[in-house]
Structure 1
Amino acid sequence: MDTEAVRSFVRAAELGQLQHAADELGVTQQAVSKRIATLERQLGVQLFTRTARGVELTLDGQAFLPHARGIVTGADRAVTAVTPGSRALRVDVLGFRSAQAVVLHDYWRSHPGVHLDVVTLKANDPRTVVTAIQAGDVDASFRTVTDPAALPPGVRMIHAFDSPLELLVGPRHPLASARTLTPAQLRGHRIWVPGIAPRSEWAEFYDQLVTAFDLCLDGAGPHFGDEVLLDTLAESADVATFVGARDRYVWPASYDLRRIPIVDPVLVYPLSLLLPEHAHPGLRPIINHLRNLPPLTAKAWRPSWASPAT
């Protein structure tokens, strides 16, 4: 469907005259008339009746008008979403159920007028994300370059917030009844984290975690999605996985999965925000929101590139 024809119909309906619609749209009356005639042929109905004073909507025209307005509004928003200088603030997160997305949603709920696009770059290598920031494809990304010295000029990284890990297990797992767990209690248990991508920040995180606490981390096999992972945990008596405390997972009640906090020390995944040196002004209130999140006060372990002050 030709959106310009729909736009011509909407303006003619609202103004009552084809000439007025043409003047506003910057085309001839004949062009508006042809667009509407083509639209009527496509729909198989008559949208207007012509009168001495202009045009009036038929019953079909009245039924079509609110939907036509929605088409025009959607088209305008689509153009705005990709127009440099006018599109919404665009922030990359690892996934829409991740702690990053949850925190951004909390921010948006308290600032509902903010124009915010939350996207997910299909990239595991943070250098790819840095390139997207340099190109202006995204305004910020919740990713970490584990060697800050490798950041190119014009891109900076700030600490966003800490994400404590929890152990997620099924009801038959030997640790399922625990209220909390220490890292020492995890030794010898299979912790399945499928699809760990080489060169990714989380690959380095888990390498350091395994070394620090002598854990049995199994990264074998492709990651077929959260649903398959949750199915496996529900059926297994020996498989567990790590999830972030703010990560949002949903499973059937019959699965009876358990999220168990890890303490003494808390295992922290530090989340960072990559952004250009001259950042979008809409990022400032988001950064303030991140800084106002409740701090983690318990004894914690973090990977080598992070500290509470980063």
Structure 2
Amino acid sequence: MQTDAIRAFVAICDLGSFQAAADTLHLSQPAISKRLATLEQRLGHALFDRVGRGVALTEAGRAYLPHARELLAVLADGQRALDNLGGKVAGPLRLALSHHVGLHRMPDILRAYIRHYPQVSPEVVFLDSEAACRRVANGELEIAVITLPTVADPQLVETHIWDDPMRVFAAHEHPLARSSPVGAAALAEHPAVLPPTESYTYGIVVAALARLGVTVTPRMTSHYLETLQMLAATGIGWTVLPASMHHEELVPVEVRGLALTRRLGVIRHPQRSLSNAAGALLTMLIDERDADRG
């Protein structure tokens, strides 16, 4: 079927090589190559340039990729709609979690979910929130539970589940810890270790400091908040973490006028049918939120 060739094309794009795509699709490399050649022949365009051992999309490949993704997403959407007809909560659940949410917010929920719906087979991937949004928008994942974007993505629907207050932290011997409370300008006088500049969390921190007239440039960055916690504890720099991650090796630094909170929740595509499995998880998360607020 042509869809098999399209699936092979998208897998090569995502994984960067014919061999990795073959391994993922449980095919031989010659079989992957044959499927791609068939697709290129039907389209009348070469989709890849072979560069050494790697591959690079041609102009035609770049133009065709979003349409290939959309076709696969529509087919998956149709299959979910049919699977939902019986009302049974079963089958695969393609779910992305951000690292912090997965470690600190979801264990009890997933434990209860699996107990209630034993016929569901969760396929959980841990992704940065920004990457999770892209993959939900592309139709590769049904839902993701992440740090919500600071600016709503028009391609996605978001459901706010938790508020996540954040604080500045530093090692006990750090000058900021010894001087707390401090003015926001004091933060710029010392190195910082923060999430990457393209992350939603970094955007929240930078915007809050900008409102106080302060600009900071991080000495080091990491998507993993546990890594930032460790780096700050060594004294390399101050950091910003969820208040719930207060550790004995760190001191919360009171910064006058600075209020930091991020929103955690669920994103999904507004034009895709959620499987019964995904819908049940979303309902469980909303019930959890409402119980906490009630």
TM-score bracket for the superposition, by shorter chain length? 0.5 to 0.7
Residues 1-310 of structure 1 mapped to structure 2, 5 A cutoff: 86-95=90-99, 98-99=100-101, 101-111=103-113, 113-114=115-116, 115=120, 116-121=122-127, 124-125=130-131, 128-132=134-138, 134-135=139-140, 137-148=141-152, 150-152=153-155, 155-176=156-177, 181=181, 184=184, 187-190=187-190, 192-194=192-194, 196-198=196-198, 200-221=199-220, 223=222, 229-236=228-235, 239-247=237-245, 256-259=249-252, 266-277=259-270, 278-279=273-274, 280-282=278-280, 283-294=282-293
| Greater radius of gyration (CA) | 1
Per the alignment, in what secondary structure is the counterpart of residue 106 of structure 2? helix
* TM-score of the pair, normalised by structure 2: 0.52
Deviation at 1:197, TM superposition (A): 3.9
Q: 1:217, 1:192 → 2: CA distance?
A: 8
Q: CA RMSD in A?
A: 3.8
Deviation at 1:203, TM superposition (A): 3.9
Question: Is the contact made by 1:161 and 1:270 (CA closer than 8 Å) also made in structure 2?
Answer: yes
Deviation at 1:170, TM superposition (A): 1.0
State the AA in 2 paired with 1:243.
L
The alpha-carbon distance between structure 1 residues 124 and 183, as it changes in their structure 2 partners (threshold 3 A), is farther
Deviation at 1:289, TM superposition (A): 0.9
Question: Is the contact made by 2:166 and 2:260 (CA closer than 8 Å) also made in structure 1?
Answer: yes
**Cα displacement string for residues 75-126 of structure 1 (whole angstroms, at most 9, x for unaligned residues):** xxxxxxxx9764443432221xx14542212323555504555421357356
What stretches of structure 1 of length at least 5 have no aligned partner?
Answer: 1-82, 296-310
What stretches of structure 2 of length at least 5 have no aligned partner?
Answer: 1-78, 84-89
The alpha-carbon distance between structure 1 residues 147 and 226, as it changes in their structure 2 partners (threshold 3 A), is closer
Q: 2:123, 2:254 → 1: CA distance?
A: 32
Deviation at 1:227, TM superposition (A): 6.5
**Cα displacement string for residues 62-84 of structure 1 (whole angstroms, at most 9, x for unaligned residues):** xxxxxxxxxxxxxxxxxxxxx97
Deviation at 1:157, TM superposition (A): 1.2
Q: 1:141, 1:100 → 2: CA distance?
A: 8
* TM-score of the pair, normalised by structure 1: 0.50
Per the alignment, in what secondary structure is the counterpart of residue 269 of structure 1? strand
Q: 1:270, 1:131 → 2: CA distance?
A: 19
**Cα displacement string for residues 122-148 of structure 1 (whole angstroms, at most 9, x for unaligned residues):** 57356513324x23x243332434443
The alpha-carbon distance between structure 1 residues 287 and 100, as it changes in their structure 2 partners (threshold 3 A), is farther
Percent identity of equivalent pairs: 15
Question: Is the contact made by 1:162 and 1:268 (CA closer than 8 Å) also made in structure 2?
Answer: yes
Q: 1:231, 1:182 → 2: CA distance?
A: 23
The alpha-carbon distance between structure 1 residues 107 and 113, as it changes in their structure 2 partners (threshold 3 A), is same
Greater share of helix residues, 1 or 2? Answer: 2
Q: 2:181, 2:91 → 1: CA distance?
A: 46
Equivalent pairs counted in the alignment come to: 198
The equivalent of 1:17 in structure 2 is none
Q: 2:252, 2:287 → 1: CA distance?
A: 29
Deviation at 1:243, TM superposition (A): 0.4
State the AA in 1 paired with 2:196.
I
